[in-house]
């Protein structure tokens, strides 16, 4: 009686589980891999579920690029074999902890990518950070290449002949991974041959896969094609900007949008260099959300990002609002707007509370500022990027008020209010940067207050947190100034009483100048920096 052959669905699941579990163990034990991950990945210090999600999402995009040609042509429907493979892959990914916890992926990881992000899939041929990190920074790089190629090979062999033929046109990302692993041609040939034997021994529901195995070996081992494959290289300045972005508290949706925008621009410039056709795009942005949610900070990063990617030569940010654009006399608004725009050339013009430019009053000159701005955006379309910002509903009305605004501002990024936990983290970072720390009981008191103010637009989000921080500093100064000989801990620890005083009914009380001076002098005597 012969040995029962393993079904291809079970084999695919096994190799995927092996890849993810080995990667996590490697991450936990390898300082070199953790350091590389920190510089490239979205989650800087991930728990196991976050690690699993990011690794699997990266792989999902790459698999979609190679295995599902409908990503690149809306008129190509999924074949029955492709639909079956999609279901199998989504079931395999869905069984891994953390991968589909978010309701956004309830349809399945690959199904969501295909339905919601198909136009972004090809970017991963050039910009796939997580898997490339594993294949370049880990000492186990060849140990990852085997399960990766096994997953690709099993999935490829499950497809029908016609779909496999179309896959041959979209193998760039696969070859980029092989290039990243930097495996010698003889060793790669041996590895792929070995994987081919394994795939041939698997049961594909009675289907003969010898032709598919031979095709897959050719795809992997065509050395001329591997050498021509796109190499994914990190740009130091871009990496620094992305790292600064991802280190910010909260703003997860904003971070994804900005990174996606960076990827798009980066790949667009690569395509331009190779004379591929390009559709015209608008890089102007709408930032919508409550005050104090980081819009200006992100605008500065976007300006730096555009410079690092070669979109703008200076990359500086000029901030303005209605008062900076609108004059009080006929004929003066156009001149005032022109002056501000020219100061922002080769950089980014950030217009805060832009909706205030369209007041419904016959004598208002805001509409003149809008028309002048639109004309100058067209005149300087290669030298100017404009970001308009304000409350969500007001900005939607503002953009909808003028066809010129609608055509130029096609990309919107929404800034959600900070959660209570995120506000506490902002407070802690402010404290740490000023050589303070929070007593655990003080942190609990703060968190309770932030929970009570969560969703309160009048609180001001990040600005509200900074106001609370300043009030706690004053309360701490009042308390510490009464200590005859304060220790270093006295000078650096926020107590629960400090927080309670700051957020209580007397939170606007100011410390006497003599008290503040005594505390400052005590800091200086111990060379503790206060900023």
Domain extents in the chain:
8-228, 236-415, 420-525
Any idea which architecture 420-525 has in CATH?
Answer: Orthogonal Bundle (1.10)
User: Given phi > 0 = left and psi -120 to 50 = alpha, else beta, which region is 336?
Assistant: alpha
Ranges in the chain, pLDDT < 70: 1-4, 39-44, 69-76, 118-129, 141-142, 167-173, 176, 183, 222-236, 273, 278-280, 360-364, 456-460, 505-531
Contact 32, 26 (CB under 8 A): no
In angstroms, the CA 172 to CA 168 distance is 9
Q: What's the whole-model pTM score?
A: 0.53
In angstroms, the CA 476 to CA 111 distance is 54
Smallest Cα–Cα separation from 93: which of 82, 80, 78, 107?
Answer: 107
Helices marked H in 222-251: 223-228, 236-246
Smallest Cα–Cα separation from 337: which of 326, 351, 348?
Answer: 326
In angstroms, the CA 111 to CA 99 distance is 13
What pLDDT is stored for residue 523 in this prediction?
Answer: 46
Beta-carbon count within 10 A of 406 CB: 11
Is domain 236-415 classified as CATH 3.90.1720.10? Answer: no
What pLDDT is stored for residue 124 in this prediction?
Answer: 55
What pLDDT is stored for residue 65 in this prediction?
Answer: 78
Copy the structure tokens of residue 458.
């009048």
431-442 confidence digits (pLDDT tens)? 888 888 888 888
21-69 confidence digits (pLDDT tens)? 988 988 888 888 888 777 666 566 788 888 888 888 888 888 887 777 6
In order, the DSSP letters of 406-473 are: HHH--EEEEEPPPPHHHHHHHHHHHHHHTT-EE-HHHHHHHHHHHHHHTT-GGG-THHHHHHHHHHHH
């Amino acid at each position: 009686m012969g040995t029962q052959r393993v079904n291809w669905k079970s084999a695919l699941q096994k190799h995927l589980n092996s890849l993810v579990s080995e990667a996590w163990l490697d991450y936990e034990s390898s300082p070199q891999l953790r350091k590389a991950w920190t510089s490239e990945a979205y989650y800087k210090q991930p728990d196991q579920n976050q690690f699993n999600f990011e690794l699997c999402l990266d792989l999902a995009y790459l698999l979609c690029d190679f295995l599902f040609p409908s990503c690149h042509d809306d008129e190509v429907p999924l074949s029955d074999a492709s639909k079956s493979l999609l279901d199998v892959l989504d079931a395999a990914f869905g069984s891994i902890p953390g991968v589909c916890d978010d309701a956004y992926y309830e349809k399945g990881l690959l199904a969501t990518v295909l339905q919601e992000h198909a136009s972004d899939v090809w970017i991963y041929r050039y910009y796939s950070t997580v898997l490339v990190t594993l294949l370049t920074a880990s000492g186990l790089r060849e140990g990852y290449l085997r399960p990766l190629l096994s997953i690709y090979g099993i999935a490829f062999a499950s497809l029908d002949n016609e779909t496999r033929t179309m896959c041959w046109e979209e193998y760039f990302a696969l070859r980029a991974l092989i290039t990243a692993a930097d495996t010698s041609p003889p060793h790669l040939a041996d590895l792929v041959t070995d994987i081919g034997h394994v795939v041939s021994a698997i049961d594909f529901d009675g289907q003969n896969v010898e032709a598919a195995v031979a095709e897959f070996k050719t795809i992997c081992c065509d050395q001329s094609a591997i050498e021509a494959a796109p190499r994914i290289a990190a740009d130091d300045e871009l990496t620094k900007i992305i790292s600064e972005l991802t280190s910010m508290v909260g703003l997860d949706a904003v971070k994804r949008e900005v990174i996606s925008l960076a990827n798009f621009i980066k790949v667009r410039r690569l395509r331009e260099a190779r004379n591929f056709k390009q559709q015209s795009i608008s890089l102007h942005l709408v930032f919508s959300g409550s005050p104090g949610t980081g819009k200006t900070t992100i605008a500065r990063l976007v300006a730096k990002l555009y410079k690092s990617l070669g979109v703008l030569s200076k990359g500086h940010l000029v901030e303005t609002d209605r008062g900076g654009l609108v004059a009080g006399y006929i004929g003066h608004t156009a001149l005032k707007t022109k002056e501000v725009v020219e100061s922002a050339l080769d950089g980014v013009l950030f217009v805060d509370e832009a909706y205030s430019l369209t007041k419904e009053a016959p004598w208002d000159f805001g509409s003149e500022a809008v028309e002048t701005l639109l004309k100058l955006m067209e005149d300087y379309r290669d030298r100017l990027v404009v970001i308009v910002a304000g409350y969500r509903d007001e900005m939607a009305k503002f953009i909808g008020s003028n066809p010129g605004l609608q055509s130029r501002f096609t990309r919107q990024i929404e800034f959600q209010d900070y959660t209570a936990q995120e506000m506490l983290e902002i407070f802690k970072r402010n404290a740490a940067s000023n050589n303070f720390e929070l007593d655990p009981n003080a942190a609990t008191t703060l968190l309770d207050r932030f929970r009570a103010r969560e969703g309160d637009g009048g609180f001001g989000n990040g600005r509200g947190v900074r106001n609370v921080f300043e009030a706690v500093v004053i309360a701490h100064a009042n308390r510490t100034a009464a200590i005859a000989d304060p220790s270093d801990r006295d000078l650096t620890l926020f107590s629960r009483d400090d927080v309670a005083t700051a957020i209580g009914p007397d939170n606007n009380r100011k410390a006497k100048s003599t008290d503040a001076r005594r505390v400052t002098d005590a800091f200086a005597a111990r060379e503790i920096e206060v900023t």
